[in-house]
Structure 1
Amino acid sequence: MKNIIYISFLIYTSVCFSQGDISINNSYPTNYFTNPMDIPLILSGTFAELRPNHFHSGLDIKTKQREGIEVFSSADGYISRIKISLWGFGKAIYITHPNGYTTVYAHLQKFSDKIENYIRKEQYKNESFEVEVFPKKDELPVLKKELIAFSGRTGGFMGPHLHFEIRDTETEKTINPLYFGININDTKKPTINTLIGYCLDSISQINQINEPSQLTLINDANGNLVAKNITASGKIGFGINAYDQLDDAANKNGIYSLETFVNGQKIYEFKAEEFAFYETNLINVLIDYKRFQLLKQRIQKSFNQYKYNLSLTKDSSTNGIITIENGLNYIVEIVAKDFKGNEQKITIPITGKKENIIAKNIENVTPYKIKHQEFNEFTNENVKVTFPKNTFYSDFYLDFTITDNIVKVHTPIVPLANNYTLTFDVSNYNETEKNQLYIASISEKGKENYETTIKKNNTFYTSTKKLGKFTLLADNEKPTISLYNFKNEQWISNHTSIKVKISDKETGVKSFRGEIDGKWILMEYDVTTGILTYDLKNITYTDAKHHLKIVVIDNVGNLNTLEATFYRKK
């Protein structure tokens, strides 16, 4: 037994990492930035946490389940970017600092007065709620701990919190804010729920199975996990489902690092230090994407099967892939840590034994073979799919069928690196029908969702990363508009705002415009409630009687207009 392990040790010595890779990078300034809020720092989301189709790019700071808490600049600098959007970050401020870093504050309810006045001028200038501006260095300087905004929940369907980032100004890479001395309370070790074994070619096996398999875990006397002894041969890898909890919150956050050791030598490391935004789609190959799509369980792999370059992982010659040889014994250890160094470990004893495979995945062969390193284009009836080179990470047979006007472009279990194009020939429709048509995706539960549809003569197309079912639908219903907090012809002298509810149940609201007495007004749109709000302190008086006009257009061009009269004392 000792001789066998020693031989295996020699095999892996040449591919291990240098010692101390998990240690904190001391090049970051730890006393420069302060907490952006004067409340205890409790997180609902950690850096590089695994999210749908992306890594989380900062810290989500809990705001006691309410909005309106003061947000301060973390250091001296100047506001270099302000962006207001309906989705994503909602209202966001970017502050550039003289030490080479930029801080980001997102999902804000509103800005401080000086910033609010600055951005409001831009909104009125462009007659748009959504704006993005890049102030010059001397326009909006800020001091450390200066009030810049109030916390909110803008940007989509989420609870109140502050999203906070620190980026490298030059490279725009986002960096874990905890590296900069921002402290959290965490004495709990991560929790590992699930261990999955993977066979990485057609002849490899784990317990005579060539498919991903869940392995049994038991607790040892020290509170660590041990897998039941497995037999294996060929190239294999492992993945885990894990989370970490801070002392002051029940949220299940992401882990900080994941390491794999074979006979004591490190062969793989994931560490939540920094990443570039163009890398974020690689999350779908870091996880077991198929399992996530089918079971909604995120398994983080501890190997790099596709040899992608991701800043969050450390390179090694094996990329975390373990080659099991017949007759040898191996001890594999997988270690999950949080930022404070608390760790949970799995020990996996492996006996190298080549046996007959009793369960093997068989690929469905179709006429449409994807060669991922080549350009691929296929046509079926009136539908064409176009896949640029490297749309996918591997070769496979595409399931591309049309049944009862429903187009199936495979099943959504294969990760995509880039968008592909889905094109419909609509030459058999008349012009009126074309105006109302759009491309829709159909979810697994049968829900139809509008996909951005580009119309060019007799072809409609969409660029997407979605696989699954699609169809052409018609939207001939205009959006709905209704007064929310007052009635037509009402006196509203005691109101502080006007609220109007808008919606479009099929393709969604594309644009809206509000006017009072023929002049554009700035209306804030809450996408979660569908309510437009106008602050009446901004109204200019010439008379007590005022005329309100709201115009809403949906994504195929259906338009609706609401007009109302209200009265207000000067």
Structure 2
Amino acid sequence: MRKKIVLLLLLAFCQKIASQSGYPKDYFINPLEIPLVLSGTFGELRSNHFHAGLDIKTQQVEGHKVVASADGYVSRINVSLWGYGNALYITHPNGYTTVYGHLQKFSPEIDAYVRKKQYENERYSIRLYPKSKELIVKKGQVIALSGNSGSSGGPHLHYEIRDVKSRTMNPMLFGITVPDHKNPTIQNAYAYALTDSSHVNQSANDVKIVFNRQYDGDLLANKIYAYGKIGFGINSYDRLDGALNRNGLYILDMSVNGERVFQFAADKFSFDESRFINSYIDYDKYINQKQRVQKCFVDHDMNNLSLYKRITDGGYINVKDSMEYTVSIIARDFTGNKTKLIIPIQGKKDSVAIPKKEKITNRYFKAKLPNTIKDSIITAYFPENIFYEDFYFDYSFENGVAKLHNSTVPVHKNFRLTFDVSSYKTEDVKKMYIAKKNKYGKLNYVSTKRKDNTLYTLSRYLGDFTLASDNHKPTVKTIGFANGQWLTKFKTLKVRIHDKGSGIKSYRGEIDGQWIRMAYDPKKGILTYDFSDKNLEGTLHNLKVVVTDNVNNSTTFTTTFNKKN
């Protein structure tokens, strides 16, 4: 007996050690020297992707000290106008890499390294991979200041932990803790009839479920009457302490008659699977109602999300006539707070009063096969496996607008759309581009390539496309100084650039004929040069800024200023 107890204790100890080695709890420290309050959680549902880290609030300002979470070396540096903006990647001896995004500026040592490379290459946006001994950092060392660079919607720090396979991991698994005493909120729930013979409350379409809160805090739905293969989904969010942001769930469970048939857990994923979010959610509701409904079923075999943990029969329920079922859907956050929705089901084979809504066209796309549309002007090629299901495709070309179905159908990979422009003059074609037309009629430039007598683009979005022309040059204006002005007390030099047509493709700044590092904030349209970058010889200086748009209209702006070192 005693040997058995010792063996059990030893086994428990080994399991604990194994768990700790999987996710070292005391290895990483918080990357900011202020209390952690989140605006975004790991695995949160975002546009076309799952959120890959934690978004940490910086009290609505930039400039907080960002520190290395552990010893290591800077293995990658990104300076980008979009995405993570200014970002650092630190590789640690335990094999993990931490990522720090949307930074305002790097520490002096790191910035000197970046500045040298930027001047060597004469380009601001740059991606660098320092060697392991070039930029060594210590745990708690200041590596940057927090900011709002890239695609950030406001000042914050984006923080990630990645493993040796570059999979992004939930930082909370490593002991990064954030207070949370609030239960998740389930706003809406839906039942889906998933075959031609199934129905819910006599409807072949999805049905909104009515529910009420009980005294014990659980949510109880009105009984639904269903038959055949059905599924469920919920629109839910979680709030953490200290913030009003609607964050994502950590775990979503569904059980039928007490047996778990579905689980989603936001612990880790690979970036190449992130776009499967558009299959995980009810994409139609996201586009039309701005609801991200998480489906508790997997509706096609192409979706291989590793965030699915326990799936039985795809998460579907085959409801039989006269049988009763109880479905429990539980939304949990990382600290264990939870909200349960209970849905009673009565199996009832009935007539369908509300038939399935579907527009029948003369084109039926098979998702597992390539599909092509071709007429005198338009060629659209859709490779196999870029759609999640078969459907009737709605196409027309009228008044110069190519209608490629609509935006409610997600596209997993690029398709190719080509316009024949042989009927246009060569000089006119040089200023033309392909634009996507939004629901308000606004035209937005999409990356356009030229080949022979065609213009083409690669896109992952359906909708309305047309040809547009841009004959306007970009504009360049100084901010806060005039031609010939003395700028001795100025720390920075700023100009505003803008293009009202195809958008800005590139820019170049020079002082006295030499390239200068001008940081570009595309959200504000401002170029900024920091005078501390280099010493200027003499007092009178010539500034030259060349800005080019996406159809190669170019503006060269020149002015002078005076400055003493």
User: What's the TM-score once normalised by structure 1's chain length?
Assistant: 0.95
The 2-side partners of 1:271 and 1:498 are apart by 48
| Residue pairs, 1:192-203, within 5 angstroms | 192-203=186-197
* 1:161 Cα deviation from its structure 2 partner: 0.2
The 2-side partners of 1:526 and 1:415 are apart by 30
Letter aligned with residue 466 of structure 2: T
CA contact (8 A) 1:380 1:401 kept: no
Q: Which residue of 1 aligns with 2:416?
A: 421
Post-superposition CA distance 1:192-249 (Å, at most 9, x none) = 0001111111111111111011110111111110100111000111111111011111
Instruction: Give 2:427's match in structure 1, choosing from 432, 443, 463.
Output: 432
Are the structure 2 counterparts of residues 417 and 538 from structure 1 closer, same or farther at C-alpha, using a change threshold of 3 Å?
Answer: closer
SS in 2 for 1:121: helix
CA contact (8 A) 1:25 1:179 kept: no
The 1-side partners of 2:286 and 2:192 are apart by 15
Q: Which residue of 2 aligns with 1:106?
A: 101
Instruction: Give 1:213's match in structure 2, choosing from 207, 226, 229.
Output: 207
SS in 1 for 2:418: strand
Letter aligned with residue 275 of structure 2: N
| Residue pairs, 1:157-556, within 5 angstroms | 157-169=152-164, 171-307=165-301, 308-556=303-551
The 1-side partners of 2:534 and 2:98 are apart by 35
The 2-side partners of 1:337 and 1:82 are apart by 35
The 2-side partners of 1:315 and 1:476 are apart by 56
The 2-side partners of 1:544 and 1:163 are apart by 42
Q: Which residue of 1 aligns with 2:147?
A: 152
Letter aligned with residue 279 of structure 2: V
Instruction: Give 1:73's match in structure 2, choosing from 68, 77, 81.
Output: 68
CA contact (8 A) 1:195 1:241 kept: yes
The 1-side partners of 2:500 and 2:265 are apart by 43
Q: Which residue of 1 aligns with 2:10?
A: none
Q: Which residue of 2 aligns with 1:13?
A: none
* 1:315 Cα deviation from its structure 2 partner: 4.3
SS in 2 for 1:37: coil
CA contact (8 A) 1:377 1:386 kept: yes
The 2-side partners of 1:228 and 1:388 are apart by 44
The 2-side partners of 1:310 and 1:166 are apart by 19
The 2-side partners of 1:558 and 1:290 are apart by 39
Q: Can you give the 5+ residue segments of structure 2 that lack an aligned partner in the other structure?
A: 1-17
* 1:311 Cα deviation from its structure 2 partner: 0.9
* 1:90 Cα deviation from its structure 2 partner: 0.2
The 2-side partners of 1:541 and 1:393 are apart by 58
CA contact (8 A) 1:59 1:165 kept: yes
SS in 1 for 2:419: strand
Letter aligned with residue 345 of structure 2: I
Q: Which residue of 1 aligns with 2:5?
A: none
* 1:457 Cα deviation from its structure 2 partner: 1.2
SS in 1 for 2:111: helix
CA contact (8 A) 2:179 2:240 kept: yes
Q: Which residue of 1 aligns with 2:8?
A: none
Letter aligned with residue 405 of structure 1: G
Letter aligned with residue 262 of structure 2: Y
Post-superposition CA distance 1:117-146 (Å, at most 9, x none) = 000001001101100010011111111111
Q: Which residue of 1 aligns with 2:7?
A: none
Post-superposition CA distance 1:420-475 (Å, at most 9, x none) = 01111110111111100000000112111000001011011100011110000000
* 1:288 Cα deviation from its structure 2 partner: 0.4
The CA RMSD measured in Å over matched residues stands at 1.1
The 1-side partners of 2:330 and 2:273 are apart by 24
The 1-side partners of 2:548 and 2:309 are apart by 49
Letter aligned with residue 101 of structure 1: Y
| Residue pairs, 1:15-30, within 5 angstroms | 27-30=22-25
The 2-side partners of 1:421 and 1:397 are apart by 19
CA contact (8 A) 1:79 1:142 kept: yes
| Residue pairs, 1:11-90, within 5 angstroms | 27-90=22-85
Letter aligned with residue 217 of structure 2: G
* 1:317 Cα deviation from its structure 2 partner: 3.5
CA contact (8 A) 1:552 1:560 kept: yes
CA contact (8 A) 2:205 2:357 kept: no
Letter aligned with residue 348 of structure 2: K
SS in 2 for 1:278: helix
* 1:306 Cα deviation from its structure 2 partner: 1.0
* 1:289 Cα deviation from its structure 2 partner: 0.2
Q: Which residue of 1 aligns with 2:87?
A: 92
The 2-side partners of 1:197 and 1:547 are apart by 67
CA contact (8 A) 2:71 2:137 kept: yes
The 2-side partners of 1:228 and 1:264 are apart by 19
Letter aligned with residue 236 of structure 1: I
CA contact (8 A) 2:262 2:312 kept: no
The 1-side partners of 2:71 and 2:564 are apart by 44
Moved over 6 A (4+): none
* 1:362 Cα deviation from its structure 2 partner: 4.1
- State the identity as a percent: 48
Q: Can you give the 5+ residue segments of structure 1 that lack an aligned partner in the other structure?
A: 1-23
User: What's the TM-score once normalised by structure 2's chain length?
Assistant: 0.95
The 2-side partners of 1:372 and 1:328 are apart by 35
CA contact (8 A) 1:546 1:565 kept: yes
The 2-side partners of 1:69 and 1:362 are apart by 52
The 1-side partners of 2:480 and 2:423 are apart by 47
* 1:25 Cα deviation from its structure 2 partner: 6.1
SS in 1 for 2:314: coil
The 2-side partners of 1:274 and 1:362 are apart by 37
* 1:316 Cα deviation from its structure 2 partner: 2.6
CA contact (8 A) 1:368 1:378 kept: no
Are the structure 2 counterparts of residues 25 and 42 from structure 1 closer, same or farther at C-alpha, using a change threshold of 3 Å?
Answer: farther
* 1:417 Cα deviation from its structure 2 partner: 1.6
The 1-side partners of 2:328 and 2:367 are apart by 33
Post-superposition CA distance 1:90-131 (Å, at most 9, x none) = 000000011111000000000001000000001001101100
* 1:364 Cα deviation from its structure 2 partner: 2.2
* 1:157 Cα deviation from its structure 2 partner: 5.0
CA contact (8 A) 1:376 1:388 kept: yes
Post-superposition CA distance 1:517-560 (Å, at most 9, x none) = 00000001111111101111224332110000000000110000
The 2-side partners of 1:538 and 1:289 are apart by 48
